Structure 1
Amino acid sequence: MIDAIAKDDSHLELERLKGALWASGDVVYDWDLATDHIAFSGDVAALFESDNLTVPASGEDLQLRISPEDIPRRRRILSDHFAGSAAYDCEYRIRSGQGEFQWLHDRGSVQYSAAGTPARMTGVIRLVTLRKKHEERLQYLANFDDLTGHYNKLRMREALEHALTQSQRFGQPGVYMVIGVDHLDRINTGYGYEVGDAVLVEIGRRLDNWLRAADVIGRPSGDCFGALLSVCSEEKAQIAAERILQSMRDQPIVVGQEKIHVTVSIGSVAFSAQSKTAVDAMTKAESALQQAKTAGRDCLRFFELTEAQRQDYRASMDIGEEVQQALKDNRIVLAYQPVVDAQSHVVRYFECLVRMYDREGALVPAAQFVPAIEQLGLMRSIDNRVRDLAIAALERFPNVNLAINISGLTATEHSWQRGLVARLKDRRDLASRLIVEITETTALMDIDETSRFVFSLRGLGCEVALDDFGAGFTTFHHLRALTVDVVKIDGSFIHHITSDKQNQIFIRNLLALAGTLGVSTVAECVETKEEADYLSAEGVDLLQGYYFGRPDIDDRLLTFQQGNQARIKSSAVGD
């Protein structure tokens, strides 16, 4: 009787496993390596789309169906697994009964004979074609404009950065142009957005024909195209721009039954004579484009500096060179400012603020060099150094939590994030003590991209803070869309908080929303006891400001101050 019950239970368990296997769409296999016979279980017909082809019965049959491009990689992974040096986890394409290739994800484990040789292989195969197509789509969108197929802003900036490097290395001139579509908003209003999109696609096609094959074309913004003309003088660029302008005047764009007369305005900047970085070149070209629009549109303007602008630019370039040398000489350091519990004033973590020693050894506040390097597009190098210095400090002080700021430019780049992953992968002990702060204005530039960025940081174990909250627009709405851990209230709302009724209303609304979302709040720029007491009574979680401590480059304070009450400091270098 007991044996019968056990047999029934075993049968039910087997039926449940079969049902789950079919529901998942996975296929289990058992591969006898000695006879090369493979037995499959599950929805095999759907996996291999075997209407016109038989299901593979052996390892050889399966390999004949695999894409020739994927066979060497699969062989290598199998060989490493058989040797015991790696798990078997492989994705490859297999030809279906319809003649198309489908993506499979194959995970398995080898079993060895008594003699220690591979005897059989068992594993699970899953169809992942839709996921791979989605990944390819995301990869495409990361580099190209979805409407026109040209480079997007990020990829355009990378191409421009490379062109500037080549120009500086070999002394070859180049020009970056921004081609703006005049009155695109009127076309969208009068004819509809579909017609407006068709106009953009046609202008992109014409630019492909009008410019050289070696020229790079992108779409950095909605109504503008960018054109990178390497190894090109200003005179040749002007000829090319005049050809574009004249052709647009002479050739209306036909969309359906409509003939639409469209003109463009062009702003240009020469490099590397007038620009040393991609961001600088793009900004100056856009400035020249605005000059062209102000001059009546349908014309070309080259960027020109006034004497005052030229002096400011030279000063910025001098600062940029000094910062680059300071990076080489390891003269970039961190100053630490405490962030304290609003009730107990116990230090919860420190914010890392960048500082620089000049060549004489004097400490330079951030305000004296950060604006210039932001203008020159050098913040990525600073952000990389701050990241590395902060992680090194976390390693030295295992009981300390730190926060770092990253610029808007860095937040849109993947290289900084890859560097963080490389240093914190499998180091959750460090990641859990690091807070990454992004500004609200940066977050609002692209909510979807910011959400992906935040998700990846939290996946490592880091916390994410939204800095300068309240400085942007429609902030409460967007806070719901961002899964951040901390919100830092912009300092402009803290000054005179005890008497400013509007700021008080803002902070109460924010605290109510933060409480609903489970987000911690930090009030910045707290300078008086009255401000600290008021914010604490209102329910702000954490406080930061000169009242509790100025930024200090002495990292010994990380040893004795974390977890203790903050002490008021007045002798350190401030922001």
Structure 2
Amino acid sequence: MLRSARDNNIDLSLLDQMTTALESSGDVMYEWDLATDSLMWLGRAASLFGLEDNLIPATGETYHNRINPEDLPARMRNLTDHFAGEAYYDCEYRIRDGSGNFQWVHDRGAVDVSTTGAPTRLTGVLRPVTVKKQAEARLEYLASYDELSGHFNKLRLRESLDFSLEQAIRYSNVGAFLAVGVDHLGMINTAYGFEAGDSVLVEVGERLDKSIRGADIVGRLGGDRFGVIMSVASHEEADTIADRILQTVRETPFEINDERIYVTVSVGFVDFPEQTKTSFDAFAKAESALLDAKSNGRDCVKPYELTVEQCENYRTSMIIGEEVKLALKEDRIALAYQPIVDSETHELVLVEALLRMFDRDGQIVPAGRFIPVVEQLGMMRVIDRRVLELALEDLARYPNITMSLNISGLTASDRSWLRALSSRVKSRPDIAKRLIVEITETAALHDLEESARFVSAVRQLGCKVAIDDFGAGYTTFRHLKTLTVDIIKIDGSFIAGILDNEENQIFVRNLLGLAKALNHTTIAEFVETAEEAEFLSREGIDLLQGFYFGQPEIKPDWLTNNAEAEGTIVFPK
């Protein structure tokens, strides 16, 4: 087109308009004559390449010489596939500019073919995307690394620890997780400024690298704390490394604002898999031991220790854990459903799926009897995966119900669970729009950025997200804006006996104002009387849940008899 317009003097005004548009956008259009290997450019090609006009590549060969050798094979494969009619021509690669630096471009085009089907001319557009690629690289970096210290961030550290735990259990190894805290960092920030405090953290991270073994992993837990994974290490070896960390930090002063100050750290550690089997639990126990070290005068090491009572509880937990594994194998895991109704009409709006287990005699075991143990033993991923399967099966079976599903804080950071959800609902938007995923407020606030990513991913699939037990933590207006959930479930402790508790009434009113401002749906749990239901309805709560409207039941009649019918499902009170 470029050649024909110029050679035949056809519609040059249109060509001028195109040139203006390209120059405004920064894009560059090209025409590559495959028979003569000649290239023609339209737009600011000189600016794109950082070259004088007479040095701009005039042939395909000279252009290829400017493409990064690592990217050229992929571009050639894309061209070959496109010429064969097997793919669109659309790729990204780096070209060398006049300064010798590589810049990213997005190349998209289409080939013209002769009457015999042979490719004759490729017309395409180059778009500069270096800024976009740099932003993507930065986001990818921040997804795994701490911006300040350059070590693994908390999410990546947790993933690495989960892997080490799995390997330790599989191969009967022992290891340790260390929590390292900088002593009196707050005083350093106050006396010298936060930049000085940050430089201390960076230097402590570097000294940690020098203190550990080559196979050990360092990451930043946040604030003044680092974590160290020793995948294979006895209790004695972990204690030795912890002492070495103390010595390495304390023996050389830190340079701050032309002053030399001495800094110390405290260390707490937990052995695995004997004392812990999940990263969440390991973090908590190591940091608990770290607090003991700080309480013991700082600049010391404290291992996590189990009391006699804790040892006995642990043995009991192991027995319960084995029973849960057997129940999963024998298909004795089930869902009980509790109705959630409209606050004014009391019509059934959705149901909450609650986990139950049958024992060997066929009796129902409430979740509260085994879920805490399952969480402690690191089995929640398996349980949550099974619950997801059961919930999706019932959503497909009952096309008129909407269901909310609780997941653990551990699963909220489990990408494999998200992938399982995605694979099941991507092709079934009718199911996705009827599924609500509930995460607890405390789990959401444990790692706000990670929770926000999880919420966004679930909502992109077409599902809704609810915050459960709202009010149990310390959620602020900013937190709610960051999480962008759809539903807020008020913690039942604020609903039980609300008619006689003025403070709870004030809390609920304030929460409703916040929820309405953010356009969130609200649910009140633990509603047990008609008077409570009437009061909450007057206050503006959208939905109600509690024993007054029905207890959790496995395959309740009101669900199975009505869920397949057309229209609104009405729960008979």
Per the TM superposition, whether the score is higher than 0.5 is yes
Give the Cα–Cα distance (whole angstroms) in 1 for the partners of residues 140 and 346 of structure 2: 47
The alpha-carbon distance between structure 1 residues 452 and 176, as it changes in their structure 2 partners (threshold 3 A), is: closer
Is 1:458 the counterpart of 2:463? The answer is: no
Match of 1:254 in 2: 255
Is 1:353 the counterpart of 2:354? The answer is: yes
Deviations 1:124-147 (A, max 9, x none): 332221121112112211211211
Moved more, 51-60 or 100-109: 51-60
Match of 2:176 in 1: 175
Match of 1:567 in 2: 572
* Contact in 1 for aligned 2:177/2:228 (Cα 8 Å): yes
Partner SS state of residue 458, structure 1: helix
Deviations 1:207-261 (A, max 9, x none): 2112211221122132122222233222233222222323433322222421111
The alpha-carbon distance between structure 1 residues 489 and 309, as it changes in their structure 2 partners (threshold 3 A), is: same
Moved more, 77-86 or 158-167: 77-86
Deviations 1:243-283 (A, max 9, x none): 23234333222224211111221112222333333333332
Is 1:394 the counterpart of 2:395? The answer is: yes
Moved more, 46-55 or 559-568: 46-55
Match of 2:383 in 1: 382
Partner SS state of residue 522, structure 1: strand
Match of 2:445 in 1: 444
Partner SS state of residue 130, structure 1: helix
Matches within 5 A, 1:425-444: 425-444=426-445
Q: CA deviation at 1:84?
A: 4.1
Moved over 6 A (4+): 10-14
* Contact in 1 for aligned 2:164/2:231 (Cα 8 Å): yes
Partner SS state of residue 507, structure 1: helix
Q: CA deviation at 1:310?
A: 0.6
Give the Cα–Cα distance (whole angstroms) in 2 for the partners of residues 517 and 319 of structure 1: 42
* Contact in 1 for aligned 2:337/2:353 (Cα 8 Å): yes
Match of 1:475 in 2: 476
Partner SS state of residue 361, structure 1: coil
Partner SS state of residue 273, structure 1: coil
Match of 1:571 in 2: none
* Contact in 2 for aligned 1:252/1:259 (Cα 8 Å): yes
Is 1:530 the counterpart of 2:531? The answer is: yes
Moved more, 333-342 or 414-423: 414-423
Moved more, 266-275 or 74-83: 74-83
Partner SS state of residue 344, structure 2: coil
Letter in 1 for 2:508: I
Give the Cα–Cα distance (whole angstroms) in 1 for the partners of residues 94 and 389 of structure 2: 40
Is 1:544 the counterpart of 2:549? The answer is: no
Match of 1:64 in 2: 65
Match of 2:5 in 1: none
Match of 2:221 in 1: 220
Give the Cα–Cα distance (whole angstroms) in 2 for the partners of residues 42 and 369 of structure 1: 68
Give the Cα–Cα distance (whole angstroms) in 1 for the partners of residues 165 and 32 of structure 2: 56
Q: CA deviation at 1:105?
A: 2.0
Partner SS state of residue 498, structure 1: helix
* Contact in 1 for aligned 2:558/2:572 (Cα 8 Å): no
Deviations 1:63-104 (A, max 9, x none): 322222222333333344444444333222222222111122
Q: CA deviation at 1:530?
A: 1.7
Match of 2:287 in 1: 286
Deviations 1:471-503 (A, max 9, x none): 222534533443222222222222223333222
Q: CA deviation at 1:307?
A: 0.7
Matches within 5 A, 1:188-227: 188-227=189-228
Deviations 1:410-445 (A, max 9, x none): 223433333333333354333222222222223333
The alpha-carbon distance between structure 1 residues 546 and 26, as it changes in their structure 2 partners (threshold 3 A), is: farther
The alpha-carbon distance between structure 1 residues 456 and 235, as it changes in their structure 2 partners (threshold 3 A), is: closer
Match of 2:297 in 1: 296
Matches within 5 A, 1:43-122: 43-51=44-52, 54-122=55-123
The alpha-carbon distance between structure 1 residues 239 and 458, as it changes in their structure 2 partners (threshold 3 A), is: closer
Moved more, 109-118 or 394-403: 109-118
Give the Cα–Cα distance (whole angstroms) in 2 for the partners of residues 397 and 79 of structure 1: 50
Deviations 1:426-473 (A, max 9, x none): 543332222222222233334444333333322222222222222222
Q: CA deviation at 1:554?
A: 1.4
Is 1:405 the counterpart of 2:410? The answer is: no
Is 1:512 the counterpart of 2:505? The answer is: no
* Contact in 1 for aligned 2:211/2:248 (Cα 8 Å): no
Is 1:159 the counterpart of 2:160? The answer is: yes
Moved more, 461-470 or 305-314: 461-470
Deviations 1:338-385 (A, max 9, x none): 222222222222222222233443332211111122233332232233
Deviations 1:307-344 (A, max 9, x none): 10111122223333333443344433322222222222
The alpha-carbon distance between structure 1 residues 469 and 166, as it changes in their structure 2 partners (threshold 3 A), is: closer
Match of 2:7 in 1: none
Match of 1:231 in 2: 232
The alpha-carbon distance between structure 1 residues 473 and 239, as it changes in their structure 2 partners (threshold 3 A), is: closer
Letter in 2 for 1:176: F
* Contact in 2 for aligned 1:153/1:220 (Cα 8 Å): yes
Give the Cα–Cα distance (whole angstroms) in 1 for the partners of residues 436 and 541 of structure 2: 18
The alpha-carbon distance between structure 1 residues 331 and 73, as it changes in their structure 2 partners (threshold 3 A), is: farther
Give the Cα–Cα distance (whole angstroms) in 2 for the partners of residues 28 and 421 of structure 1: 39
Give the Cα–Cα distance (whole angstroms) in 2 for the partners of residues 411 and 567 of structure 1: 35
Moved more, 541-550 or 192-201: 541-550
The alpha-carbon distance between structure 1 residues 37 and 154, as it changes in their structure 2 partners (threshold 3 A), is: same
Q: CA deviation at 1:15?
A: 5.8
* Contact in 2 for aligned 1:267/1:288 (Cα 8 Å): yes
Give the Cα–Cα distance (whole angstroms) in 2 for the partners of residues 468 and 393 of structure 1: 25
The alpha-carbon distance between structure 1 residues 105 and 545, as it changes in their structure 2 partners (threshold 3 A), is: farther
* Contact in 2 for aligned 1:53/1:96 (Cα 8 Å): no
Deviations 1:390-419 (A, max 9, x none): 233333333332222222222234333333
Moved more, 425-434 or 259-268: 425-434
Matches within 5 A, 1:302-341: 302-341=303-342
Give the Cα–Cα distance (whole angstroms) in 2 for the partners of residues 27 and 346 of structure 1: 60
Instruction: Please list every run of 5 or more consecutive structure 1 residues that lacks an aligned counterpart in the other structure.
Output: 1-9, 569-575
Moved more, 77-86 or 306-315: 77-86
* Contact in 2 for aligned 1:549/1:567 (Cα 8 Å): no
Partner SS state of residue 500, structure 2: coil
Partner SS state of residue 566, structure 1: coil
Q: TM-score, normalised by structure 2?
A: 0.89
Letter in 1 for 2:275: Q
Letter in 1 for 2:204: I
Q: Identity of aligned pairs, percent? A: 55
Instruction: Please list every run of 5 or more consecutive structure 2 residues that lacks an aligned counterpart in the other structure.
Output: 1-10
Match of 2:492 in 1: 491
Give the Cα–Cα distance (whole angstroms) in 2 for the partners of residues 375 and 45 of structure 1: 63
Aligned Cα RMSD in Å? Answer: 2.7
Give the Cα–Cα distance (whole angstroms) in 1 for the partners of residues 409 and 16 of structure 2: 55
* Contact in 1 for aligned 2:268/2:290 (Cα 8 Å): yes
Give the Cα–Cα distance (whole angstroms) in 2 for the partners of residues 61 and 331 of structure 1: 68
Give the Cα–Cα distance (whole angstroms) in 1 for the partners of residues 54 and 186 of structure 2: 55
Match of 1:367 in 2: 368
Letter in 2 for 1:543: L
The alpha-carbon distance between structure 1 residues 128 and 382, as it changes in their structure 2 partners (threshold 3 A), is: farther
The alpha-carbon distance between structure 1 residues 438 and 236, as it changes in their structure 2 partners (threshold 3 A), is: closer
Give the Cα–Cα distance (whole angstroms) in 2 for the partners of residues 119 and 174 of structure 1: 64
Give the Cα–Cα distance (whole angstroms) in 1 for the partners of residues 19 and 53 of structure 2: 26
Give the Cα–Cα distance (whole angstroms) in 2 for the partners of residues 24 and 227 of structure 1: 49
Match of 2:24 in 1: 23
Give the Cα–Cα distance (whole angstroms) in 1 for the partners of residues 113 and 356 of structure 2: 59
